[in-house]
Structure 1
Amino acid sequence: MRMKPKRLKSAPEDENTPPGPAVAVWGKKKSAFRCKRGVFSKILRELPEEIEYEIFSHLDSGSFLNLAMSCKFLWKKYTAPEKSRFWVRCRQNAGLPDCPPHLTERAFAHLVYMKCCHSWYQQCGKPRVSRIIWVASARYCDACVNQCMVGIRAFFEDSANEEMRDFESLLPTVKVNDRLSFSLPYLERLVGKWKDAKTENLSWEAFEAGQREHLQALSAHVETCKRWKKAADVARAQERRRLHDQRYSFIRSTLLATGYEEALLAFADSKLRQLKQVHGTAYLDNKGWAKIEPQVIKFMDNMQVAQVFAERIQKFARYFGQVKEEHLHDKDIAWWPGTVDLLLMQGTSYRTSLTTGSMEESETDLPALKAEIRRDVSRWLLERKAELEDIIRDLKPDVYPEDVQAVELAVCVLRCYGCGYNVRFPELLVHRCFRGQDCSGWSWDWAIQKELQLRDDVFEQTVIETLGYCPWSAGEDAARHLRRSKNEQPVNTMFTPCGPLTQSKAMETVQSCGKDPLRATWKEMDECNPIFSQPTSPLGTGVTVMSWRYAVTTLFLFPDGLESRGDWKVDDPDLPPAARVAVTKEYRLEEQGVRTQPIFCCARCPDPFLARMTYAEAVDHVSKSHAKEGGSIEGGDIYCNPHHWAMWASPMTVE
């Protein structure tokens, strides 16, 4: 192999000095390192063993193992059998239990401190494997654990392993992934020991007795190791907590000395504790602070801006609540939860006053601001209705008459591609899939954190954190949340029409109520509130009833819903008065199971989207928070999220 020549550096040119010899500079650092390592090795060679033992006996097993692995010379030196007392002393310093008989001191230290996979089938060596399986004296990653730790029941029930069933009672077991398992390498070693014992004419009974004693000793050692590991983890957690508290206290006191106010630090306390610079690996001093100061100062400046935004957003939410209360029964506008954040994200004119202005109310400015809020909510709803109308007309042409708005028809319900639920307007505007969530399974706290990560604007992040729910994720954001690995859908097909069978059943149901299915709107059906009933006894003393909304919801979820329930009647004249009262607009939520679910909202609060209140909590909230404002349960101040109500409601039986 041809060696690459060294790069030479000539001496500095000077006309009065003759040129000197070239100086070799390539590989200077490597030679210096080798020189230092050679000096260190020479010192260790000449150092008396007792002094060497006294020096290294203050280390624990992990530190001594790292030292031995630093170079080949130290590895060869300290893995020799005559150096075993070094490992014993270091193990005792760490408080570890005695080394098991089947492991060397070095192997035991490697098991405890080196977090790598010990699979000897694939030679995996994957790092950051935290769990130690003590009965197997190994660490296994997720990819190797099922190969090395085998389910004991499935293994010995296999006819191919019939000749090994005698060893089943001699194996140490442990639960791995909710399955009682044993170490396959341990079984292989056990079979090898039995073969060696047979060559020495040892009986099975004697071999079994010896292995049972070994199993008892191994079990006792495993319990000791588990107790040590638990105590070590507790001590490590306490040390980490002390380190975190010291760094947090140092940063906080330094920020106070810098000039930041106590109120600002209290506002940013939770985020400051989670800051990356607080979770360090060493105690913080002035030298360490100089390294992280720019990042912390930038964070505090953002928090200072966010604090101002939060106060203004809360004030705006109060104004929004006043407008909502004044126009709560306005027929031209729907005050659905989740509109205040939509307006703030739309770039309306008062967003500028929230970010740059003083946002101070006055007798002359406040009415104009309220009128603007009312106008913007109405405009936003009309724009969304027009967009949805175009989508429906494109998806299902020549179905609805041209002189009606399809989005308002009772038979116009769309199925969400993201979650599979059926949604109508205007519930569609606050549908969780539009807010970037998958309705089939989600965590609200996780959703907020995810939405915060998607947004870089400090104002938008403050809106989410202040109001406590995610804004409407329109356009690419909604499409990104709804993408699937095999099949991507554009935004305009997020909602698809219901199938023809469901559509025909819906039209038949509306006709049975005496309404024109291509003219009757959801609002009209809710006002007349037809009731579906079915006698539950031949004498007519009992009847099962369900309201219009539940009947149609059941019909849309299950096309044969009404037929499968038997002979249902609409507005039966013989319906008991108690049944009709039970499903009126005020008391319609009496159905079994609904009141105990956290699905109720307060109409007077500014957009409590998914407030997570039960019926009792909602009643208590209205009586305590809105009594002076004239709040009452019968006045429509408590309402149920319609999308959730359909999931929990059921027909009720009235005697």
Structure 2
Amino acid sequence: MSRRSLRIQVKATAIQKQHTPVLKESSSAITEAGRKRVRESTSEGLELVEHEEKGGPPRKKSRKGTSKITQPSRGTSVERFKNARGKLERLAKDVPLDVVLEIFCHLDPGDLLRLARTSKDLRGLLMSKSLEAIWRVARANVKGLPPRPNDLNEPQYARLIYDAYCYVCNHKGRCENVLWRFRARVCKNCVITVLPLYNDEYLNKQPPEYRNSDILPSEVVWVGNTSITVASNKWATRYKAEYTYEALETPADREQWIRQKQKDLQEIREHSHLSHRNFFSFRCVCRKWNQNRLDQRAIELNNLCDHRKTDILARLGKLGWREEVEHIEKRGMYRTHEQIYFEYARIVNQSRNLTEEGWVNIKDELVELLSNHRTARLEIETVHVIRARYVQLSQAYQRINSKSDFREPLPAIGDILTANVFENLIWDTPVEEQVDFSAKLSEHLPHFIDKWRLAQIQELLMVVQKSKRGPTLLVESDLYLATSIFECIQCKKAMHYPQMFYHRCCFRNKCPSKISHKRMETFQSHYYDFHEYGPWTPRTLVLSDHCLPVMQTIIKSCSLDPTTTTIQELYSANPLIQCVTCSFDQKSLCLWWPIVFSRDHWKHDLKINMSKKSKKAAKRILRKIDGRNDPICCAHCHQEVDMSKLQQHLVESHIDTVILDSPTPLHTSDLGDIQEHWYFNPRRPIQSLYRQFYSSALSLRVASQ
């Protein structure tokens, strides 16, 4: 028995005055015809099927099982869900009809469509033809909604504009691609794979009587940046069946059928506002309204998401996690932990309000997520600070190193970075503190260099002792001899003391300490190979055996003693050597003595020319061939300068210390004239010293004298 109350009866009077036409029409129709139901057709949408509802059969009793079923405890979510069942059904059965109709008048067609799918009673009520006026009132509640086309009823039109699944594949995702001429929603994938193209091949499959009569609808869709025109096999099949099997016996009937279909297509085009004049224009009312609805819904969802996010941030701020939330939303330098951000976004960025129960459910998960992010963030920040300290220490050492005397061995950058005193400064100093590496280097570097230099010279002497040559060199002074030529077993380059301390192959070594090696890997992966940041070691050096006889011959030709002649004395003698093997056409290949140890000239037949006339001719040709200048080091400030600019540098920077008697350019003077003011840069290989000095000329051809 339906429920009645005095309050509802009083309200009914006011409601009937507001919607008298609608309620009278609907109530009278229900009284006469009863409530009717509708069935949804898979081919044409929803078909209205009317029948009187004379009361349903009695409800069957459920069979009692023999096994015991554990009932959920009182107050659980399962019990609350069961108690909530049937409320909409009781709305249709127990609430007075005029109140139900009044409620329906304040909804939109989408709400009515979803209500009709909740229960059989509501479906029977809403799908009855007598309530068509309610659907019209609900449609009028939607601002800017285009009018209903004549070929669709109210539920079908509501389904077209409010449902969000594909009519072809029934995908439940958000399918917002509405083909208004086909009265269907079709996802982009089905448009490409299912719908045929509207072209000559499609038209040739239609009956010849109307294939060119413009009665088949088509739709322009965009696939990427390209527009295509598609057709519908469903419409083509239906038209073919109507034309073939319906009673169209005479040509006049067929002509009348074609004109009617042309009129229907024209109405479809007018409704979608896509006439032939603006066929490729997408400014139709239907599309505009649908896009505006989607935009408005997106704004609503974004507002809900922002409100939820603000509420969560306020609650997290009370727990002390607000700062970490700001870090996790930046993401910038923490891209390696994107999974944490995505998990955070999944929990926070939801389009629904935050309730107390919802906060209880996500609180622990959020706190754990933020805790993990803080740990990962601090690890990354620590690594960035450590790497920055390595760079700062390297730059500070390079500034000091650039002003040092390169004639004395200096530690490599890898030796400084792996030294205990500096390594502890980098790793043990708290992250939030700054380290003044320039001051620390000034404090600890002199003692470290003295200790390091003594140890490395002893290792270099051990290399000499391992050689198979007769007497071994046991003192440091013997390393300065011109006959003490070392060779790298990897690059096969010859070098004198102290050039090996700046040789690149000697830096490509791992740290002997595992802790230091792991820390250097944190600074630069493959630091010992590609970056050459390893500590210096003489493991690739040997005492050259094949260069010794050639060097002894050169020294003896200069009337010097091979056992006592130093490399600086050989630079002062500066012998000119002719390679007989490489000479041809009555011309001799002349080269300075450092070039002998490159390009295998030491294997050739050599002739040493000490005449001053030959030297002057060679220098004259050198100046004509090569205009570049060789960088050397000033003996006073140890700055690298060009040889031709040495005189200018000495006058400008060391005028109080150096007085030059002659303004003659330096390249016209012999090397030994001003030897006390400069020295060759030991950081350059022995083969390139004189080549660089004379503009990188490897070989010079001087006419035989």
Report the TM-score, using the length of structure 2 for normalisation. 0.41
Considering only CA atoms, is the larger Rg found in Structure 1 or Structure 2?
2
Report the TM-score, using the length of structure 1 for normalisation: 0.43
